[in-house]
């Protein structure tokens, strides 16, 4: 690999490789030390083609979810079975792994810009901007960039577009699936919300058992299935269909409610402070 070789988005692969190595080393203990990440599906990862793979997952934090997937994908490709033991698997990381993220999130700080260089496909959210509800048209350049990333490698997306559980999936994901016909791999994660803050940067609690289940690719009829049918299939696959609310424990529901109340209180407190100043 030439030292100045670039990916389709103009990122220098040599820099990206060292960035992934560095970030991997400093984050490894978050999943194999302070907390424990239980993994299922390493064999699924190893059987996937080099490109045109779309990972569809539920979402619990801004960044910890994606970082964990970078660890698990590379560990699996290096031959580890459902384990991220020994971070040496990041010496030769898979460089064509991308993830879909909100453009405004990836521009907020130097740290988020570094995360973006590691593989973000930054898109403009059509329903939310700077904490307010909006109604915008989908930018075709965003769709094209996701297609470009699929053509080059693997793409991770969180179709709910929020870390709040049980929210409906955005139909844009179904449009991407029908347009580019990728292999669709569902991923279900748990424990990240309890381990980290909302951004996924600060460790909120230690000793949490985290879980990542990489499921077999979905059987999708790209030509004949409707957008609605694909969305419903995804909801079941990532265990975010409304029917799952009937079996979730009362304790977990109360925990979600308390977390949302705390988040709302913090926003109100921040708003009051800004008014006073």
DSSP string of 87-100, one letter each residue: GGGGSS--S-EEEE
Whether residue 94 is found in the same domain as residue 208:
yes
Whether residue 125 is found in the same domain as residue 178:
yes
Whether residue 155 is found in the same domain as residue 268:
no
Q: Is residue 124 assigned to a domain?
A: yes
3 state DSSP class of 68: helix
pLDDT band at 267 (very low <50, low <70, confident <90, very high): low
Where is 146: in which H helix or E strand?
Answer: helix 140-152
Q: How far apart are CA 108 and CA 276, in angstroms?
A: 24
Q: Is residue 8 assigned to a domain?
A: no
Whether residue 132 is found in the same domain as residue 55:
yes
What is the DSSP track for 178-223?
Answer: HHH--EEEEEEEESHHHHB-TTS-SB--SS-EEEEEEPPPP---TT
Per-residue pLDDT tens over the stretch 187-216: 999 999 999 998 888 998 898 999 999 999
Q: Is residue 7 assigned to a domain?
A: no
Whether residue 145 is found in the same domain as residue 228:
yes
Q: Is residue 5 assigned to a domain?
A: no
Mean pLDDT over 155-170 rounds to 89
The token pair that represents 28 in the structure block:
């490894």
Average pLDDT, the chain: 87
Residue 133: give its domain's CATH number. 3.40.1130.10
Per-residue pLDDT tens over the stretch 11-68: 999 999 999 999 999 999 999 988 999 999 999 999 999 999 999 999 999 899 999 9
Which residues, 6 or more positions from 201, have their beta carbon under 8 angstroms from its beta carbon? Answer: 62, 63, 64, 111
Predicted pLDDT at 1: 56
Mean pLDDT over 77-90 rounds to 95
Q: Is residue 142 assigned to a domain?
A: yes
Whether residue 131 is found in the same domain as residue 267:
no
Whether residue 198 is found in the same domain as residue 118:
yes
Predicted pLDDT at 238: 95
Q: Is residue 6 assigned to a domain?
A: no
Q: Is residue 3 assigned to a domain?
A: no
Whether residue 164 is found in the same domain as residue 52:
yes
pLDDT band at 136 (very low <50, low <70, confident <90, very high): low
Predicted pLDDT at 130: 56
Whether residue 127 is found in the same domain as residue 224:
yes
Predicted pLDDT at 188: 95
Highest mean pLDDT among 96-100, 132-136, 245-249: 96-100
Q: How far apart are CA 44 and CA 52, in angstroms?
A: 15
* Residue 247 clears pLDDT 60, i.e. is over it: no
Beta carbons of 163 and 32 less than 8 angstroms apart? no
Number of domains making up the chain: 2
Predicted pLDDT at 3: 73
Domain span at residue 274? 247-277
* Residue 251 clears pLDDT 70, i.e. is over it: no
Predicted pLDDT at 268: 64
Whether residue 212 is found in the same domain as residue 251:
no
Q: How far apart are CA 237 and CA 217, in angstroms?
A: 10
C-alpha to C-alpha distances, 81 to 53, 60, 219, nearest whole angstrom: 20, 24, 25
Whether residue 143 is found in the same domain as residue 259:
no
Lowest mean pLDDT among 20-34, 113-127, 133-147, 188-202: 133-147
Q: Is residue 31 assigned to a domain?
A: yes
Whether residue 144 is found in the same domain as residue 196:
yes
* Residue 131 clears pLDDT 60, i.e. is over it: no
């Amino acid at each position: 690999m030439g030292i100045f070789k670039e990916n389709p988005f103009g990122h220098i692969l040599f820099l990206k490789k060292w960035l992934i190595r560095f970030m991997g080393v400093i984050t490894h203990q978050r999943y194999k030390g302070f907390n424990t990440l239980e993994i299922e599906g390493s064999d699924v990862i190893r059987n996937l083609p080099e490109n045109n793979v779309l990972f569809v997952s539920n979402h619990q934090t801004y960044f910890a979810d994606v970082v964990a997937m970078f660890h698990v994908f590379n560990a699996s490709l290096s031959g580890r079975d459902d384990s991220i033991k020994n971070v040496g698997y990041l010496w030769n990381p898979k460089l064509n792994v991308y993830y879909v993220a909100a453009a405004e999130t990836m521009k907020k700080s130097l740290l988020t810009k570094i995360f973006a260089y590691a593989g973000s496909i930054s898109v403009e959210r059509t329903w939310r901007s700077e904490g307010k509800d909006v109604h915008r048209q989908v930018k075709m350049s965003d769709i094209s960039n996701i297609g470009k990333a699929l053509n080059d490698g693997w793409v991770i997306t969180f179709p709910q577009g929020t870390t709040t559980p049980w929210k409906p999936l955005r139909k844009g994901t179904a449009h991407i699936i029908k347009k580019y016909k990728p292999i669709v791999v569902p991923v279900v994660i748990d424990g990240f919300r309890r381990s980290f803050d909302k951004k996924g940067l600060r460790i909120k609690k230690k000793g949490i058992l985290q879980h990542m289940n990489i499921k077999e690719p979905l059987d999708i009829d790209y030509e004949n299935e409707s957008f609605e049918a694909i969305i419903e299939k995804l909801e079941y696959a990532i265990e975010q269909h409304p029917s799952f609310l009937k079996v979730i424990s009362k304790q977990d529901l109360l925990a979600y409610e308390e977390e949302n109340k705390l988040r709302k209180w913090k926003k109100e407190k921040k708003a009051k402070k800004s008014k006073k100043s």
